[in-house]
Amino acid sequence: MKEFIETLIKQLVDKPDNVQVTEKKGENTIVCEVRVGEGDIGKIIGKKGQTAHSLRMLVGAASKKIGKRTILEILD
């Protein structure tokens, strides 16, 4: 899941080398924390949060394949 999220995020930002995704695995859930370079946070969130919502929907659909709930957190 981490690689999938990294690929999505790197396509959206100006500085793909600064993208960091960390996974915290639980029994039934995976929490993926995303950090991006300075100035790229707005590109990940999008206007009125639409991009973030779309990313979370894609991650949720992909997580059904592995049978665990995945939560995407965007950090400063």
Tell me if 28 sits within 8 A of 68, measured CB to CB.
Answer: yes
Dist. CA 76–CA 61, nearest whole Å? 25
The amino acid sitting at 67 is: G
pLDDT of 2-14, one tens digit each?
A: 999 999 999 999 9
For the chain, domain boundaries = 2-75
Specify the CATH class of 2-75 in words: alpha beta
Tell me if 34 sits within 8 A of 61, measured CB to CB.
Answer: no
pLDDT of 11-60, one tens digit each?
A: 999 999 999 999 999 999 999 999 999 899 999 999 999 999 999 999 99
Residue 76 has pLDDT above 90, yes or no: no
